[in-house]
Amino acid sequence: MKIGIIGAGSIATFIMEETQQKQKDELTVKSLFVRNLKKYEQLAADYGVELFDDIDQFLDSGIDIVVEAANVAAAQQFVPKVLEKKEVIIISIGALADEAFLEEVRQVGKQYNHSIYLPSGAIGGIDAIQNANGLGELKSVLLTTRKPAHSFGENIVGEKVIFQGSAAEAIEKFPKNINVSIILSLAGIGVENTKVDIIADSTVTKNHHQIQAEGTFGSMTFQIENEPMPTNANTSMLAALSVLGTLKKLQTNIKIGL
């Protein structure tokens, strides 16, 4: 599978390193779409990829799928265009908090028969949440996120609950800190019904996420403690791995958890 990536940050570099240098499952990054060709010349040389700053030329460069690995603004600008020609993996999940954009993506994908893939990112249990809501009988979902206090600009000793409310409210108030609530809401009962607690804690050094859900199926609890990427402390290693895992799932004829 030949991959095109929008963006050239830490996750894009991780994907190139794992595919180009370690020859993972016949996956290869062929093309990068970037704003500044000059800035990324060395990156292209290091990983043997071709740079583009024209989206149409990028999409026509012989790639099979596009990974959006830039930011929310780039996702909103380019994903609809991408879907006219290719399937896409969206990493900047925050873009889908905009309901109008989410609906646009759905409609364009449907019109051109191209799928949109959303990696689970920094959390797990998304398949279980989807399955539990298969008949619309998932009753409640609570995400409790605990992060180092300094990541919220909080100068406290111990812990402080800084937010309790719906995922919709959490996304609005903490757009850079609570992307996990978006994928959880999309998989389950929506942004208005998914509840979120956010705790700033001076005693922790990593991000902790706990998911609790109840319904006619029973109840479940998942807990994840995330290590950051070595190259980017603001991105969890699991988020990067979930992108690579999605690409690998698309390659195999045995689909686990789908």
Cα(100)–Cα(254) distance, integer angstroms: 34
Examine the residue annotation and report whether 209 is marked as an active-site residue of this protein: yes
Cα(67)–Cα(240) distance, integer angstroms: 12
DSSP assignment letter at 80: H
Torsion of CA 133, 136, 138, 139, to 10 degrees: 170
On whether the CB atoms of residues 3 and 67 are closer than 8 A, the answer is yes
75 marked ligand binding residue = no
- For CA atoms 248, 252, 256, 258, the dihedral sign is positive
Strand order in the sheet with 50-52: 50-52, 28-33, 2-6, 65-68, 87-90, 116-117
Helices (H) and strands (E) in the chain, counts: 9, 13
Q: What angle do CA 117, 113, 12 make, to 5 degrees?
A: 30
On whether the CB atoms of residues 236 and 225 are closer than 8 A, the answer is no
Query: Considering 114, 150, 208, 209, which one is annotated as catalytic?
Result: 209
For residue 146, the tally of other CB atoms under 10 A from its CB is 20
On whether the CB atoms of residues 170 and 163 are closer than 8 A, the answer is yes
100 marked ligand binding residue = no
Read off the tokens for 206. Answer: 């990593």
Query: What is the set of active-site residues?
Result: 209
